[in-house]
Amino acid sequence: MTVIVRSPAWAPCHGCGAFRRRRRCQPSRTSAGLLDLFRGGSEAQTLPEEPQGTALLRWLEGRGLPPQKLAAVAVPGAGRGLAATQPISKGEALLRIPQQLVITPAAAAQQSSLAPLLESTPLPAWSVLALWLAEARAAGPAGEWWPYIQLLPDHTGSVLEWSEDEVGWLAGSQLAEAAAEIRGAAAASWQEMQPLLAQAAAAGLGPPGAFSREALQSAFSMLLSRLVRLPSLGLGPPSAAAGQARQAQQAGAAGEPPGTEALLPWADLLNHSPASTAFLDWDPAEAAVVLRTDRRYWPGEEVHISYGQKTGGELLLSYGFTPKPADNPHDGCKLRLALRPGDPAAPAKAAALAAFGMGPSQLFPLRMAAAPFELVHYAALAAAEVGSEQEAGQLAQRLFGAGDIPPTLQQPALEAVVAACQAAMKAYPSSLEADRAELAKLEAADAAEAAAAAGQRQSGGSDAGQQRRQRRHQVLQVLVYERQVLARTAFVLQQELKDLRRMAGR
Ligand SMILES: C[S@@+](CC[C@H](N)C(=O)[O-])C[C@H]1O[C@@H](n2cnc3c(N)ncnc32)[C@H](O)[C@@H]1O
């Protein structure tokens, strides 16, 4: 029996760790106020210490933050970051941010001038945090958290800040759906808080103008790029009844993951590396938020965390940056498969899929050299002729439980996925060649601009113009790579089909 899509060259997603590139680490000298960063081996870059970040550190230390092995630095193309000031070993606990410096939704609600209203009209966590951020910004230097607030960037580049026209660049990609979802969620949250804001205005609560649409939109964008989920915060000891109840409540009826979302001053200066597997979390033993490193660092090296195993497009929508695909082992795209609408067995198949956590229309992640085996197995269920719910359930069990495709379904399943890839490629409004050509032009223009900047010559474009061009560049990079992944997926599956047909012809 042929096992499809499980050859080493075509491994399931979790097998793509082979792409991970390790940076060579070398010790470097730290000179007064300057930190040397080694990127990609021997090429040294100087990362200047960042004064506002240092001021924040001092302020936090005055409020209980323990001594740090990290300094705030300016990172070209990424704003601020944190770099090691002393050798750091693999697995070491860094940061140790105590509870009083963690801005959870509960803390934000308590500190908000809208506290009495939030008690009677509870809002979702990210709305409460957005109100807190908007109020802290409006309070200015007089506000309690100003040393933190003042170093937040004016813009994050998240999709909440894009014009409609720029969002339109995503047409054809599944990212268009994701962008609409994010923008829709922000708009819905804004609507949801209107009754509370009307009450606040009537009672004269909060700084004037603090809760305008623009202020809240900017706060939502800031949260998209900075909010951290702490899976272990808010969970009691497993044996304690109260803790268990809270855990159950936090796991949520809606399938929300357990834990708490929070803003983390200082820790939120950490930038993302696609190669990193280090995460921030609450450590009950330390009673603090801790970063446990996944590698050793020499003084001067920027310390990275993982924002999650995200594609370049996902990072672009939430964080406003996209790594080069070659640097991101998690890059790829999503492909939608669905049950045929006219299929009389669709309800039975939908019930069978539901038992495995899948829907009648389902997105599957594709990587350049990997796809989940469920992709083809889903297509097999969609293509199968089944007469009853029981038969659909048995087939789903064989496909997703045992991971096996009946031989008669192998060919139609592969053909269906190839067709889906081809249809997905056709959905982009401009051709891959045209987008590649525009991308090459933008890359050349950016290289020329970088050279001009290195020679300290003034660059020509306006800020808004440059930002738009940079965004176009990022979007094109993502859209070109998505189609390369779709084309590669179709190609690999076509090879599998050829093999199948050859074997059938023997
Ligand atoms: C949590 S903040 C990290 C601190 C941020 N650099 C700053 O200056 O405040 C997330 C933001 O940092 C930037 N960022 C993080 N990792 C990056 C990376 N690898 N490349 C470029 N920008 C990055 C993006 O602007 C992102 O929205």
**Per-residue pLDDT averaged across 318-326, rounded?**
97
pLDDT of the residue at 34: 36
Tokens of 63: 């409020």
Domain boundaries of the chain, sorted by first residue? 1-16+329-506, 129-225
| Among 24-33, 56-65, 284-293, the least confident range | 24-33
| Residue 17 confidence (pLDDT) above 70 | no
| Among 12-26, 74-88, 229-243, the least confident range | 12-26
CA of 227 to the centre of ligand 1 (A): 12
82, 133, 225: which to mutate for ligand 1, most atoms within 8 A of CB? 225
Measured CA to CA, the distance from residue 398 to residue 67 in angstroms comes to 56
CA of 268 to the centre of ligand 1 (A): 9
> Between these two residues, 235 and 1, which has the higher pLDDT value?
235
pLDDT of the residue at 455: 63
342-389: pLDDT as tens digits:
999 999 999 999 999 999 999 999 999 888 899 999 999 999 999 999
| Residue 469 confidence (pLDDT) above 50 | yes
**Helix or strand (DSSP H, E) at 322:** none
- Spatial neighbors of 246 by CB under 8 A, at least 6 apart, are 234, 235, 236
pLDDT of the residue at 460: 45
ipTM of the complex: 1.00
322 lines ligand 1 (CB under 6 A): no
pLDDT of the residue at 505: 79
| Residue 28 confidence (pLDDT) above 70 | no
CA of 287 to the centre of ligand 1 (A): 27
pLDDT of the residue at 462: 63
474 lines ligand 1 (CB under 6 A): no
pLDDT of the residue at 85: 95
Three-class DSSP labels, 46-81: EEEECHHHHHHHHHHHCCCCCCCCEEEEEECCCEEE
CA of 313 to the centre of ligand 1 (A): 15
| Among 119-123, 321-325, 420-424, the least confident range | 119-123
| Residue 292 confidence (pLDDT) above 50 | yes
The CATH superfamily of 1-16+329-506 is Rubisco LSMT, substrate-binding domain (3.90.1420.10)
Nearest CA to ligand 1 atom 24: 319
- DSSP for residue 261: E
**Per-residue pLDDT averaged across 94-121, rounded?**
95
154-210: pLDDT as tens digits:
999 999 999 999 999 999 999 999 999 999 999 999 999 999 999 999 999 989 899
- Report the chain's mean pLDDT, rounded to a whole number: 86
Q: Which atom of ligand 1 is nearest to the CA of 158?
A: 27
Q: Using an 8 Å Cβ cutoff, are 37 and 44 in contact?
A: yes
Q: Using an 8 Å Cβ cutoff, are 485 and 332 in contact?
A: yes
Measured CA to CA, the distance from residue 268 to residue 151 in angstroms comes to 11
**Helix or strand (DSSP H, E) at 413:** helix 407-426
pLDDT of the residue at 461: 52
Q: Using an 8 Å Cβ cutoff, are 261 and 231 in contact?
A: no
274 lines ligand 1 (CB under 6 A): no
| Residue 95 confidence (pLDDT) above 50 | yes
| Among 213-222, 262-271, 367-376, the least confident range | 367-376
pLDDT of the residue at 449: 80
| Residue 319 confidence (pLDDT) above 90 | yes
CA of 456 to the centre of ligand 1 (A): 25
